[in-house]
Amino acid sequence: MFSRLAPAVFVLLWSTGFVGARLGLPHAEPFTFLALRLVIASALLAALAVATRSPAPATRRDAGNASVVGVLLHAGYLGGVFWAISRGVPAGVSAVVVSLQPVLTSVLAVRLLDEHLARRQWAGLVVGVLGVALVVAPGTGGALPTTGLVACVLALVCGTGGTLHQKRHGAAIPLLSGTAVQYAAATAVLLVLAIGTEDLRIDWTAEFVVALVHLVLALSLGAVLLLLVLLRRGTAASVSSLLYLVPPATALEAYLLFGERLSPVSLVGVAVAAAGVALVVRPVRAPVPAA
């Protein structure tokens, strides 16, 4: 049951992160917002690890690896996305740029992790890219800020690096305490960025509090822990391919919450992206030996 439901729950939770960012960023600058979110999440996970007697990372190397993943996956990936949205990049556009991570992850995983992709899975990656493009392209009219798009590309690179590093070095790191270390390391980097570039001001409106609570509980605790579990159970390429479904889900949520309409082409893109994911994540059957 977990294996069947976990990918769908992950996509649903992960996609709401872009909506939560749009909801909260008018009331706080991106690095300040993220630092506050992650320091709260780190404290909650550390308390949960103590309460459940979860072991701490066994060695300094394990703690260092967790810190590297945290800086890449949370400070780099999330920081780039939040900064891009705060500079005017639509949530859907930022989602589609970073959802190209499966292509980059798959190519690098073959070389770095000795993972093997069948021809069907490579075809699924291509189909997924096409589906994502169909979802977002009809609604991207108008000039987009160059600096925001660069931030999205940086987020894409950091997210890919964090996923690969976690897959390669994270199997032996305790889930709760290791993730708490990830968040603490990311918080330190984000605080430096916030102090150096922002005024640390937060408007404590009801809208901001709702966005903050949702991002801490649903994303930093729910989605990220689920991502790490999925990475332990599957390949980096197959898990990353789930990100193809995030832009369609984000577009649907933006329609329901903010009234942004989906074009017929976008609806076709939802189906195409789903087909691409199915091609990648469906297990490859081993050849049956001859009798």
Identity of the residue numbered 194: A
Mean pLDDT of the chain: 82
How confident is residue 237, by pLDDT bands cut at 50, 70 and 90?
A: low
How far is it, in rounded angstroms, from Cα 150 to Cα 20?
A: 21
pLDDT at position 236 is 60
> Token pair of 277, please?
């994911």
How confident is residue 14, by pLDDT bands cut at 50, 70 and 90?
A: confident
Q: Counting runs of H as helices and runs of E as strands, what totals does the chain give?
A: 14, 0
Q: Which of 37-41, 131-135, 283-287 has the lowest mean pLDDT?
A: 283-287
> Token pair of 252, please?
């649907």
How far is it, in rounded angstroms, from Cα 73 to Cα 187?
A: 12
The model's pLDDT over 114-152, given as tens digits with 9 standing for 90+, comes to 666 678 777 877 887 787 777 666 555 556 678 888 898
pLDDT at position 136 is 62
How far is it, in rounded angstroms, from Cα 199 to Cα 214?
A: 24
Complete DSSP assignment for 231-290: HHHS-HHHHHHGGGGHHHHHHHHHHHHH-PPPPHHHHHHHHHHHHHHHHHHSPPPPPPPP
Question: What is the pLDDT averaged over residues 252-263?
Answer: 72
How far is it, in rounded angstroms, from Cα 222 to Cα 99?
A: 19
Indicate if the pLDDT at residue 288 is higher than 50: no
pLDDT at position 182 is 94
Indicate if the pLDDT at residue 31 is higher than 90: yes
How far is it, in rounded angstroms, from Cα 188 to Cα 177?
A: 17
The model's pLDDT over 178-210, given as tens digits with 9 standing for 90+, comes to 999 999 999 999 999 999 999 999 999 999 999
Indicate if the pLDDT at residue 289 is higher than 70: no
Task: List, in order, residues 6 or more apart from 247 with CB less than 8 Å away.
Answer: 15, 92, 95, 96, 99, 132, 135, 136, 273
pLDDT at position 142 is 53
Q: Which of 47-51, 74-78, 84-88, 238-242 has the lowest mean pLDDT?
A: 238-242
Question: What is the pLDDT averaged over residues 8-17?
Answer: 85
Specify the length of the chain in residues.
291
Indicate if the pLDDT at residue 285 is higher than 60: no
How confident is residue 64, by pLDDT bands cut at 50, 70 and 90?
A: very high
pLDDT at position 79 is 94
